[in-house]
Chain A
């Protein structure tokens, strides 16, 4: 039998699929929650990038005459300050828009740095194993047992406060959890038959690690990084509250929450709106990341598709029945 018609009979006609990016977009639109999440993320990033153009006021401009004005829909509220003003008469909306800059930068960069550092250490320890593993993991243990806030205060006191100092010091105190997670997965994945097979056919360690092991870590890592993002935002708020983080007149959501605390009972909006901004951001990232996690897993992706189909059919049946 000729080779050509053998292969021809092996390849059944496969319906033409749409291009990858377009099908990804249509899949995203099918998942309403994830699409809304992504929209919010983009909105917040946009606001942070174009803060000078979008914000109605200078976030640091004070006006004693207009202090503690409530949001516009309340009795004493005015259209001049949509979300009210704080104890120094600064516009809350403008502060939130400007605060997004510091919060997003610190959160994202810290997560990235800590995750990178932790992943590298975890991969190294998990892949090599033995003594290297023991030494690296004991380092992690030592770092975990050292009180984070003390280290932060020490470093900031020596280097002086600032956004980048904060990023550096928060990365150093938060990488251990990634290292532990990655190391656990790597040392168990390392013994799976497909990794052994990759080694048997002569893949170099780098290829085994990056091509065969790393993709298994992506989805738990993504989940962890997002949970950690919340922690970082809160840690930044705590440090800023102590006066070692973001320095006025610059602002961040955490700083606003912290400084609004004193007025909680007479001006609830000072804490509520920056707090809401944190919640919405984290929730949006969560929703989108959940979609992303499923999409990067081929099996889960098919299952999600099949579930959507089943739901669609059930709705159609109900409509016919009604």
Chain B
């Protein structure tokens, strides 16, 4: 087996607040192989973005990493003493694109200057070579008239175009891993499709691994090889994308897929999972989904660990049972 690119082992992140300590991540473990696309899905507050931020070293006060390890090609990537070494990895080998392309670009700098800056910083290109490279990158992400566009400012670009620019900056140094935190949430559906196609295409060309964070199951189904489902700061299910969609094992995953509206279904109301996730100030020691789970019982109050089921892993003692009456 080849060494995974990124390995997260039992990661804990908490936020110290005056009301108490919020446990945002409670033992998250996952790995990303070279060239693979991992989708991380879950609802707001489940810890998707915090996981990404931890990998990028972006956890800042009041948050802190309180336990666990993040390994980049076997080398530790988190902790005070390794920050210097990690600086050469962040932005060079791991890059990140954010949800909001409107505010991630500096409005006072031309697009060309911003892309060139990345290349100059990390690859040591001189000014002319950097500009050349910036033009190549713009064409690579499908922006026509790259030469002319380089001299323009962010306000002259539409939302989708700006996200393309962000992706161009993200792939500028030919990273091994691209973390995309809800890259299409701020964009409309047609642009969304184009951006996802672009990501898939770049992955194929460059052998890039992608961690795609989203709450849109449709995007996961279309782009990802593997999926990790998060709930209340923990991973509840992982597996190959086909297996998860055809045969979800965890009741939460089943509920998520069941509540995705279909185009042809003639439903009056959208189906939902009743209730809300638990507060993470005092997370339950057992299964966090228990209060909302139709098949949960007393036995679920004990801590649930991820265990291998079929081709993936599930943290549920009743894995595989149908939680909801109608077929999922």
Contacts and interface: CB of A to CB of B under 8 A. Distances in A.
A6 B292 CA distance: 11
B281 A305 contact: no
A296 to B, nearest CB: 14
Contacts of B18: 17, 23, 301-302, 305
Contacts of B275: 6, 9
A23 B17 CA distance: 14
A300 to B, nearest CB: 10
Interface stretch (A47-55, A165-173, A264-272, A306-314): A306-314
Q: Is the interface of B mostly helix, strand, loop or mixed?
A: loop
B16 A12 contact: no
Contacts of B278: 12
B62 interface: yes
B123 to A, nearest CB: 35
B276 A9 contact: yes
B246 interface: no
A257 B282 CA distance: 60
Given A1-B274, A305-B17, A12 B61 contact: no
Contacts of A310: 16, 61, 64
Given A9-B291, A15-B19, A17-B19, A305 B279 contact: no
Contact of A13 (B17, B63, B282): B282
Interface residues of B, number: 19
B20 interface: yes
Given A1-B274, A9-B291, A14 B19 contact: yes
A78 to B, nearest CB: 53
Q: Is the interface of A mostly helix, strand, loop or mixed?
A: helix
B15 interface: yes
B17 A12 contact: no
A307 B60 CA distance: 10
B281 A14 contact: yes
A303 interface: yes
A9 B293 CA distance: 13
A150 interface: no
Contact of B17 (A6, A10, A306): A306
A305 B64 CA distance: 13
A307 B279 contact: no
Given A9-B275, A9-B276, A309 B19 contact: no
Interface in B277-299: 278-279, 281-282, 291-292
Contact of B62 (A1, A14, A15, A302): A302
Interface in B34-69: 61-64
Nearest to A303: B61
Nearest to A312: B16
A12 B281 contact: yes
Contacts of A307: 61-62
B189 to A, nearest CB: 24
A183 B181 CA distance: 38
Interface of A: 1, 6, 9-10, 12-15, 17, 23, 301-303, 305-307, 309-310
15 contacts: A6-B274, A9-B292, A12-B278, A12-B279, A14-B281, A15-B282, A17-B19, A23-B18, A303-B61, A305-B18, A305-B62, A306-B16, A306-B64, A309-B16, A310-B16
Given A13-B279, A302-B17, A309-B16, 16 more contacts: A6-B275, A9-B274, A12-B279, A12-B282, A13-B282, A14-B279, A14-B281, A15-B19, A17-B19, A23-B18, A302-B18, A303-B62, A305-B17, A305-B18, A306-B16, A306-B62
